[in-house]
Chain A
Amino acid sequence: MSLSRRFFLRRGALALASITTQPLWGPLFLRQTALAAAENSRGSRRKTLICLFQRGAADGLSMVVPFGDPNYYRLRKEIALAAPSRGAAGECALDLDGFFGLHPAMESLLPIFREKHAAIVHACGSPNPTRSHFDAQDFMESGVGGSSQAQTGWLNRALAACPEDRAKKTAFRAVAMTSAVPRSLQGEIEPLAIPDLRTFGIGGKTGATGGAGFEGLYESAVGDVLGGAGRESFEALALLRAKADPARYQPAAGVEYPASPFGRQLAQIAQLVKAEIGLQVAFAETGGWDTHANQGSAGGQLAGRLYDFSRSIAALYRDLGDRMADVVILTMSEFGRAAAQNGNAGTDHGHATCFFALGGAVNGGRVLGKWPGLEREQLFEERDLAVTTDFRDLFAEIAQRHLGVTALGRVFPDHAPDPTRFRGLLQA
């Protein structure tokens, strides 16, 4: 972690030293040159944000268990997780701060939390009361509420609002490991959607463009939406060909990704980060969180999903190693689940859930946000965990403090940016 910071300082000093012979060029140039030198060093200024969407409304009360709140056990008789040391290892929550505990299937994230590079924002979510997955995902991804039907996503607008010195305009600026561009990434900056890097190439080989002559077809399609996508494709192929071969990807020593689609997606994101091809925003998604029936407790349906989810994220974090100084991994889900379990030992659609953030710059080792409580009158509409952190404030904090966006109004047009609402997830 400290390595890259040291590296930056040294390169910065070098840059300063090298221009002292030209004092007339003034402080602005001086600063820019220092920055440029930093840019040339290993990605030390350019930031990457990796967003992981849990589609289907993940149960925040099971991921990060409020074992210190007695109502939790009253509401969830069959599916509650025992407080730390109230059961066999692997059967009870893992203590985070004496009040909250991590689901035992997410054990792989615990060391990162203890190293203070992972934080949780609990009771976070959308102010919109909808319990429709599609409405809620739409809001969270567009970042614009109501029925305004914003056509663009918040991540794309955040990229567009990034200051020039943070942006390297390559085809890999915004990548989704999905077959269609998710709503979050739609917009003016052409995103790439690549479900699997291994098959991203023409004629079967990664990065290959073949001798078929397809390039020319899209060069001439000016002003056509297809033309843009085509040119972007070939630029991406060329970059990838030069920088990365997913078929031969070797994660860092000792890192093993789960053999699941989600694990593979994250391994490929790591590869793109390491290839230094200008990745600023990466997006991956995982489903199976809509646990209406038999969600289980320490074991079972939800535990299985969390096991895959957290091991994949931990592998990504370890794989990126020192590079995590410039990376933030952020998880999100459209809403949480009802505070009380239902008649089928599952949970129905609820309101707030919890979001995880990992990274070198994350003020980790803490569960952030205000805990609203689980008493009947404290619940949203008397049934769901209330939202005390608007997800837009969390996203805005990351857009500003990580990506360097100052014009937050462009990213969240109907939610006046106000740093006093930031939870202090990142060092200011």
Chain B
Amino acid sequence: MKILFARLCTRGVFALLSFGSLAAGMPGEVESASPDEERARIVHALDRLGYGPRPGEIERIRSNGLENFLFLQLHPEQIDETALEARLVLFDTLRLPSDVLMKDYFAEIKRFIENQRASGNAAGVKRQFGIEIGPGGTKPVTAPAEADKKAQLQEMIRSLPDRLSLRVVGDLQTAKLVRAVESRRQLQEVLVDFWGNHFNIDVSKQQCRVLKPADDQGVIRAHVLGKFRDLLGASAHSPAMLSYLDNNENTTPFEVGAVEQWIRGVMVKRMVGADIKPATGKARMEGGRNENYARELLELHTLGVDGGYTQKDVQEVGRCFTGWGFKGLTGAFEFEARKHDNGEKIVLGQTIPAGGGIRDGERVLDLLAAHPATAHFIALKLCRRLVADQPPASVVERTAAVFRAAGGDLREVVGSILKSPEFWAPEARRAKIKSPFEFAVSAVRALDGHLDFSALPVDGRARRALEGAATLGYAAEVVSTLKPPTLNWSVREMGQSLFAFQAPTGFPEDSQRWVNAGALVGRLNFALALTSAGVADVRTDTRALTGMADADDTEAVLRRVGEALVPSGLSPGTIAVLRKKAMEATSGLVNAAGLAALVLGSPEFQRH
């Protein structure tokens, strides 16, 4: 703690030096900002660069200085996080190497195949895994009998914690929540969310679920404040991405000999108990091109849909990435020269000479990362996340220019947004609607809540495996009956199944998309649950909200609850509703939890 403080002090000086221009970028000098204005800026920074303030945080930042806070958020490696790291040990599947998880994934398929074979549902297996396990043309059958279902469920519940390739999904989701709620590196968590969404991967697609932890750690977390080219390159090499966007299927037709077919058949049979492609006893050609990754690389990862590429470019980029895949058994990246189309390609007018091998793909990534359309597209998306749904063109253009000048250095790029007057402008405050994830996390933080799994059997391992299974499309009805729900399940019920957005676009960055009448009801329910100990793995203390205020003094309680939960202020309309509610109190004591639920459900709290 002391060491950290000393480091903070020295860094603080450095921060002031290097951030001299930050203050200049704010509308009006920081020195001249009124205390109210300074407070408003701190609230805005906590709201937009993180998941909202915890009680007491505004005062802490005020005394250490806003610049210091911003500097540290941009240099998260200087923020001590040992306490959080210790808590994350619980999510052991996230540290397992891919090959261990892959093994469990195959065991899961094997178990599934055995069950399905027993119940005669070959079509179900084909539907889930594209594997033929029985004689062809088996008719789809109806659901298993109730008794069988119950027995299966019993068995499932007993073995759940050990089913790593199911639990890994629940661990991914819950660890993301723990980090967002508890981490002091708030901006880093926001950027991880942003880039994880930009390079979206749906864990419910085949083996993506066991490959995603390595992607989350090695691709996204490792590069959110690094160089864009490195981030892009890591993503292109990521087995999870190669699987999600089918690039492991993107090959030039290649010959598979009889012996290789036989070996593969034996291996696969051993792993999953069925043969995927029966050996023919003679060499055959396999594979073919798949443009899925190439298209999304251009449309969603770099240039943007109006970035000036053609269908021909998509095809040529696809050719450049033929042979990029991963080892089927271990999930390790692999470039296979025999699957690569080694001819000459022309991408965006640039000739990529024949014989380049794996360098073809790297050349494409170089071209894309340095392309002005990419600078603009990334700047637009970052500004949409950090400034406003429709960010002013001025800030987008300035950010794009920084992206180009700094060679895609994302720390510089984000830093320049934080220096921009548009970010600090009063219009930017509360301009965005929280996503369900942001809403849930900010509500927990506002109540000074913490995640605590000790009340759940085996520290929540079984529950996380079940929620993982539900994310993959099984057992959702079972999880719905488990009361109270977890924070993760609550977020899903509000419409955001973490790591499981099917389309490569990711969740919408335009926050207005989260507003609709039905969704609001889910938020109100969450507000009620959270303030009445109705979320299984969240511990809050709403009594602390009323603080020193005498619980008999209605106005004092109202003020205290309002300020604590929405420091940027409540509207007169909301205050009137709160007052009415407080007056209803029959016992003479104001129900702070009821008031807190109202505030969390208010229009003001839906914004940040």
Contact = CB atoms under 8 A, between A and B. Distances in A.
Interface of A: 55, 90-91, 105, 132-135, 147, 171, 179-181, 190-195, 199-204, 210, 212-214, 216-221, 224-227, 229-230, 232-233, 236-237, 259, 261, 287-288, 292-294, 296-301, 303-305, 307, 342-344, 348
B528 A304 contact: no
Contacts of A227: 603
Given A202-B521, A212-B524, 15 more contacts: A132-B295, A192-B517, A193-B517, A214-B598, A217-B574, A217-B602, A226-B433, A233-B518, A261-B476, A294-B130, A298-B139, A299-B139, A299-B140, A343-B287, A344-B249
Interface in B223-272: 246, 249, 253
B580 interface: yes
Nearest to A227: B603
B255 to A, nearest CB: 13
Contact of A343 (B253, B476, B502): B253
B interface bracket (residues with beta carbon within 8 Å of A)? 35 or more
19 contacts: A135-B305, A190-B517, A192-B516, A192-B518, A193-B517, A193-B518, A199-B525, A202-B525, A213-B598, A216-B576, A226-B520, A226-B603, A226-B607, A229-B516, A233-B518, A233-B521, A298-B137, A300-B127, A304-B123
B152 interface: no
B143 A213 contact: no
B306 A147 contact: yes
A343 B286 contact: yes
A381 to B, nearest CB: 10
A237 B521 contact: yes
Interface string B583-608: 00000000000100110011100110
Contacts of B138: 299
A296 B126 contact: yes
Contacts of A232: 517
Contacts of A190: 517
Contacts of A90: 139
Interface in B492-507: 493-496, 502-505
Residue with the greatest number of chain B CB neighbours at <10 A, chosen from A132, A181, A214, A305: A214
Contacts, number: 175
Given A217-B602, A229-B520, A344-B288, A210 B126 contact: no
B515 A226 contact: yes
A161 B512 CA distance: 24
A198 B433 CA distance: 26
A93 B211 CA distance: 40
Contacts of A195: 495, 518
Contacts of B420: none
B602 A233 contact: no
Contacts of A91: 137
Contacts of B127: 288, 300-301, 304-305
Contacts of A288: 127
Contact of B516 (A193, A203, A237, A304): A193
Interface of B: 122-124, 126-127, 130-132, 136-140, 143, 246, 249, 253, 286-288, 290, 292, 295, 299, 305-306, 433, 476, 493-496, 502-505, 508, 512-522, 524-525, 528, 571-574, 576-577, 580-581, 594, 597-598, 601-603, 606-607
Closest 10 pairs (CB-CB, A-B): A220-B573, A179-B495, A232-B517, A294-B130, A216-B577, A304-B127, A194-B518, A343-B288, A226-B603, A193-B518
Nearest to A200: B521
A301 B512 contact: no
A233 B576 contact: no
Contact of B528 (A203, A219, A305): A203
A212 B598 contact: yes
A229 B249 contact: no
Given A229-B515, A233-B517, A214 B140 contact: no
A292 to B, nearest CB: 7
A216 B124 contact: no
Contacts of A230: 517, 520, 603
Contacts of B131: 294
Contacts of B505: 134
Given A214-B598, A218-B603, A221-B603, A301 B130 contact: yes
A213 B580 CA distance: 9
Contacts of B574: 217, 220
B580 A299 contact: no
Contacts of B517: 171, 190-193, 229-230, 232-233, 236
Nearest to A261: B476
Contacts of B253: 343
Contacts of A294: 126, 130-132
B519 A180 contact: yes
A22 B502 CA distance: 62
Given A199-B493, A213-B577, A213-B598, A191 B516 contact: yes
Given A212-B528, A298-B137, A344-B249, A220 B305 contact: no
A301 B126 contact: yes
